[in-house]
Structure formats: C-alpha cells, structure tokens
Chain A
Amino acid sequence: MMPRRAAETGFALLAAGFGLAVLAGALQHDTGWGVAGPGAGYFPLRIGGLLALLGTALAVRQALGASRQALLGAGAARRVAALFIPTAVFAAAMPWLGSYLPMACYLLWMARVVGRQGWGASLALALLAPPACFLLFETWLMVPLAKGPLEEALGLW
C-alpha cells in the first residue's frame, strides 16, 4: 500500500520541517551573545538548523535510493488503526470523563469488537480492570488518576 520510498522521504521531510520550526522559534530569542553569555536562542538555532539540513539531505537520499517495496500492507494498516484510534479516543476522553469510565468502555470495545473475544471475557476485563486500578493506584499507592463527573457523582473524589 504505502511504498517504503515515499514513507522514508516523507518522514525525513517532516524531521526537516520540525527543524525549521525549532529554528523559527529560536529566532524569537537572542541567538547571539547576550548579557549572560550565549542567548536563549543560540543553541536551538543551531540544533534546528542542523536538523533541517540533515533531514533534507536524508530526504534527498531516500527519494533517490530507498526501496519502492511496500512498507505497510492494507491488513497491517487496518490492524494498527484498529488499535491506535480507540486508544487515542480513550486518551482524549480522560481529562473530561476521568480515567475509569473511558477505561471500561475502551477495554470492552477492544476485547469484544476489535479482538472478537466472547462477552464473558470482554465484560470481565472491562468491569474488573477499573476497580483494580482504583485499588492499586488510589488506595495502595496513593496516586490519583483522572476524575470525571461519574466519580464526582459517586462521591469518590
């Protein structure tokens, strides 16, 4: 699906772009000699510049030389997306809904829908993991996890 050459070139260009962004950020500061020696932008300017340079060189080399074979097949891409997208949704929901409710929904979805496990195993995972996390982290190790409206309603906060 995606040829290696395109991916290699693209990634190197992204790295070069990041280098340019760092360079631009550094230019907002003193990039030369300040009151206390080299200014705040001195180091980032050079790091960013070097990264932009090496990234571009790498992109050119990959565009000319990297293999054209497929790097990522359709099946693999689907598997990765099926794992990553729900995880990203879980991550995005955590600050709003707390850790526990999204965790249960995420585990149920991953086990039942993505993993095609039976209802029994899926529900067991989704219903047992959040309380286990609560006992482990909040009660035993005293590290608070994210809380949302549900925890507030239950008075757990």
Chain B
Amino acid sequence: MVNDLGALLHGFEVALTLHHIVLMFAGVLIGILVGVLPGLGAPNGVALLLPLTFAMEPVSAIILLSSMYWGALFGGSTTSILFNIPGEPSSVATTFDGHPMARQGRAAEALSTAFLSAGFGALVGVVVVTLIANQIATFALRFSPAEYFAVYFLAFAAFIGMGGTDPLKTAVSLLIGLALASVGMDTVSGEMRLTFGTDVLVKGISFLVAVIGLFGIGELLATVDEGLHADAVDARLGLRDVWRTLLGMPRHWVALLRSTAIGVWMGITPGGPTAASFMAYGVARRVSRNRAKFGQGEPEGVVAPEAADHSAGVAALLPMLALGVPGSATAAVMMGGLMIWGLQPGPMLFQERPDFVWGLIASIYVANIVALVTVLSTIPLFAGIMRLPFALLSPLILTICLTGAWMVSGSGFDVALACGFGLLGYAMKKLDYPIAPLVLAMVLGDKAEDAFRQSMLMSQGALSIFWANALVASLMALALFFLALPLLQRLFSRRIPA
C-alpha cells in the first residue's frame, strides 16, 4: 500500500508535465464536443482518435484518450439536461429529472448538481483504483491460462446476468462479437479462418471500424429515426450557482454514496456506466425520502445517475489494467489501443510498465479536475453547437465517422464495413440488443480463445482443469451463477408476486 502511494507520486510526476496537461485539456475539450454531439459518444470518440495516437508515447496516448472519456461523460449529461437529448447512452437517466429542472428555470442548479456529483463519483472511483488495482494485479500474477479463461467467461456471464437487458439478446450480441473476433489469421496455427477465400478479411475485422459503425453511424440513424426534438433551455452558469449547489451537496450524501457504490461495482464487474446509471436512478426512486417528486425535477434524480455514471466509467479501467478485462465499451476500445501500442494489459503491466500504469492513474485525478473546470466554464459555448441545424450537423458527424474508418488502415473495405456496422447498430438499437457486449467480445475474443486452447493443451483436453483448484473453481462457479441469474430471478418473482 505504501509502495503504491510512492508509485502514485511518481505517476504524478509523469502526468504533471506541461505536455501532458496540454493533452488533458485537448482531450477534455474534444471529449465534451463528442459528448455533446448526438451520434458521437465516448466509445467511438476514442475509436476515431486512436489512429492518431499510433505514433505517440503510450502514456501520452492513454492520457489523451482517457481525458477524452472524462470530457465525454461530462458533455453527455449537459445535453440531457438542457435539450432532453442524451449525448451518451449513459446519460439517459439524467434526462428524467435533469431536464424537468431545467424547464423550471433551474438549469444552472441541475448542471452544477450533475457536474459535482459526477466529479465526486469520479474521485471515489479513482481512489478505489489507486487502492486496489495493484493488489488485484499482484494477485492475478498467479493466474494460469485456466484462471484467465475463467475471468473472461465471468465477464461475459456478468453481462448476461446483470447487464439489465434481455439475457438471450445479450448472449446473441456476445456471440456475434466472438465470431467476428475469430475472423482472419488464427494466432496459433496461422490458418485463415472465416475469410471465405477473400483477401480483405485476412487481417480480420478491426474492432475500431466496428465501434465507429455501431456507435457512430448506428446511433445517428437511430436519432434520425426518433426525430430529434431539441427542447432547448438557456444555459447560463455562474460561479455563484456552482457555489450554492456545492454547499447544498451534503444534503444528498446518502444518494451520493449509494450511487457511487453502485457505480464502482458495476464498473468493475463489466456492467458498464449505462447499466450503473439506470440502476442507481431506479434504486434512488425506490428508497429516497423524496421519491414522490422523482421525474418532476428532483435534484436527487440527477445526483444518483451522474455519480454512478462517472464512478463506473473510472472504475471500468481497473479490471482493464489489472486483469486485461475492460469494464465498459469505452474501456474495451482503450484496451484495444493498449494492444496496438504494444502493451499487454493485465497484471504484468504493473511490473513492466509502472510509469504507464501510475501515470494513467495519476492523470485520472488531474484530468477530472481539468474536466470539471473546463466543463463549468465552457458550457454555454458547447450548448451553442446544439443550436446549429441538425441537417448540417449530422452529415458532418457522418463524414468524421467515415474518415475515421478510413484512417484505421487506409482501406476502402473498412469504410464500407463501417456502413454495414452502422446498419447493424441501428437494428440492434431498435430491437433493444445491447451493443457493448459485442464490442467487449470482439476485443477479448482472441485472448479468451488463446486462454482456452492453452488450458486444454495443459490438461490434455480435460475440461476438469476449470475446476482444478479453489480459485478457478470459484471464478467458474460465480460465472455460472451469473448465467443462471435470469432464470433464478424468474422463478423467484413468480413465487412472490410483487
């Protein structure tokens, strides 16, 4: 623990250089922009920016990308409150009470409540990361391929059992991702798999292209489908509003702590920020003293989803760094980035690249303060962008998406593929299939398969290796429990009619 604090201090030395602080500002500003614009969200914002970081130092690149993520989380709630349009899926729950508050002329209060709760959530999230990431990584050094496979399996099972979406649809989404991940050259035997004799599929299907299509193009098509009803409220945010809200925050301490706990939990077990914010809002509506006022502009209805959203966003980086299992779609894209930069996410990272790990963790503290200050001071500016006609914004966003798909590897096939993934994402969104499991499976697919094949090689083909010791057995048991959870819930709710 003391060593960790020393490492963290060293991390601050890495994070607090002028170069990195400039990158944080740039990342946060791009992030807020991406968060504000419908159709551009954190996962595909990171995916679009990733090709530009190939030549950068990994630690600089991750600081840029993670700062963008924090900016996007803040930006997403802004449009939820002011326009009733969630800029990010994870800020949908913020519209329920945030927008009514804004309509009652309390926009400044709603915005500052959202930002301060989010800041609190992020702070708790990063403290948790600081305290336990290294412990988990050290523990995971003992993992053999069997334990790794069990952890991946657990991540997939957690999505199915706790993602809050239809378990069967979640499983289909996961399996599509796993199948897509296996396209291209097999890492073990070198055979070409599922290419059906074509050359373009030899290098596999890039998860970046998939993310740009699924989250960018698909999201925009869904937005157009629903018809964009921007219900604008004036955005003015003075220092006095922020101060007054800050003084009032302790009143919400119960909701704040409860939602942050939910967020941290959902971030570490891959439920992700979206599920966390909905769950925190749902719990708050059920148990709050002010529950009667929920939906009509109750500040606690803003506190709960925002604190959960940000703590989950930050906590999602913990399993990514310590185990190589990202806790959210955005973390999955970042992890893909790590692998492109030549780093191996997982416990060895703490041993081999402490400067990278602790530089990133320290930058989370700094970048969230940068993000909070930036978002508080630039909101009127970014809200102005939403006043531009959507007819001009949407083709521009799509142009950025297609250009981004081209930049992944300079291939026309990727651009066409992004369009295809756009249609898939639109269909999945319309039919309530979760997209995050597909992305997670695409990033983890090869690693899960390798771990499985290595385990089978070690055990000479006996599946009993997944029950061979207490650790792997309990991981597998927990995963099976998550898989069975939807069935158990069904039985339970039938017996006791609510």
Contacts and interface: CB of A to CB of B under 8 A. Distances in A.
Interface size class of chain A, counting residues whose CB lies under 8 Å from the partner chain: 35 or more
Contacts of A110: 391, 394-395
Given A40-B191, A42-B453, A137-B403, A83 B430 contact: no
B392 A106 contact: no
Interface in B335-353: none
Interface in B400-450: 402-403, 405-407, 410-412, 415-416, 418-419, 422-423, 426-427, 430-431, 433, 449
A99 B433 CA distance: 33
A15 B172 contact: yes
A34 B189 CA distance: 9
A12 B399 CA distance: 31
A94 B394 contact: no
A120 B299 CA distance: 44
Interface string A1-33: 000000110011001001101100110011001
Nearest to A23: B179
Contacts, number: 178
Interface residues of B, number: 60
A145 B415 CA distance: 12
Contacts of B407: 137, 143, 145
Contacts of A95: 411-412, 415
Interface string A112-152: 00111100010001000100010001000101111000000
B178 interface: yes
B179 A19 contact: yes
B52 interface: yes
Secondary structure of the B contact surface, majority rule = helix
B51 A47 contact: no
A89 to B, nearest CB: 10
Interface string B379-396: 000000000011110111
A144 B410 contact: yes
A83 B178 CA distance: 30
Contact of A44 (B171, B193, B402, B457): B193
Interface string B441-469: 00000000100111011000100000000
B191 A51 contact: no
Contacts of A145: 403, 406-407
A38 B426 CA distance: 36
Given A36-B188, A88-B419, A111 B403 contact: no
Contacts of B250: none
A143 B51 contact: yes
B175 A7 contact: no
Contacts of A26: 193-194
Secondary structure of the A contact surface, majority rule = helix
Contact of B221 (A21, A50, A80, A107): A80
Contacts of A146: 406, 410, 412
A51 B449 contact: no
Contact of B168 (A19, A58, A84): A58
A121 B392 contact: yes
Contacts of A54: 168, 171-172, 175
B221 A83 contact: yes
A38 B453 contact: yes
A58 to B, nearest CB: 5
A29 B193 contact: yes
Contacts of B452: 38, 43
A91 B188 CA distance: 34
B485 to A, nearest CB: 17
Contacts of B193: 25-26, 29, 40-41, 44
Contacts of A15: 172, 175-176
B225 A36 contact: no
Among A84, A103, A107, A133, max chain B CB count under 10 A is at A84
Among A57, A137, A143, A145, max chain B CB count under 10 A is at A143
Contacts of A42: 453
B258 interface: no
A18 B179 contact: yes
A103 B391 contact: no
B106 interface: no
A7 B176 CA distance: 18
A37 interface: yes
B224 interface: yes
A7 B457 CA distance: 43
Among B175, B389, B402, B407, max chain A CB count under 10 A is at B175
A58 B172 contact: yes
Given A33-B461, A145-B406, A92 B391 contact: no
B194 A107 contact: no
A43 B168 contact: no
B394 A79 contact: no
A61 interface: yes
A130 to B, nearest CB: 9
A118 to B, nearest CB: 10
A110 B394 CA distance: 9
Across the A-B interface, give the 3 residue pairs with the lowest CB-CB distance, nearest first: A115-B391, A95-B412, A37-B457
27 contacts: A7-B430, A15-B176, A25-B194, A29-B193, A36-B453, A39-B189, A41-B193, A47-B175, A54-B171, A58-B169, A72-B430, A80-B221, A84-B221, A84-B422, A84-B423, A91-B416, A92-B416, A94-B412, A95-B411, A95-B415, A110-B395, A115-B390, A125-B396, A141-B52, A143-B407, A145-B403, A145-B407
Given A22-B179, A80-B426, 17 more contacts: A7-B431, A11-B433, A12-B172, A22-B194, A30-B189, A37-B456, A37-B457, A47-B175, A51-B176, A71-B431, A88-B419, A90-B398, A94-B406, A106-B395, A111-B395, A115-B390, A116-B391
Interface of A: 7-8, 11-12, 15, 18-19, 21-22, 25-26, 29-30, 33-34, 36-44, 47-48, 50-51, 54-55, 57-58, 61, 71-72, 75-76, 79-80, 83-84, 86-88, 90-92, 94-95, 99, 103, 106-107, 110-111, 114-117, 121, 125, 129, 133, 137, 141, 143-146
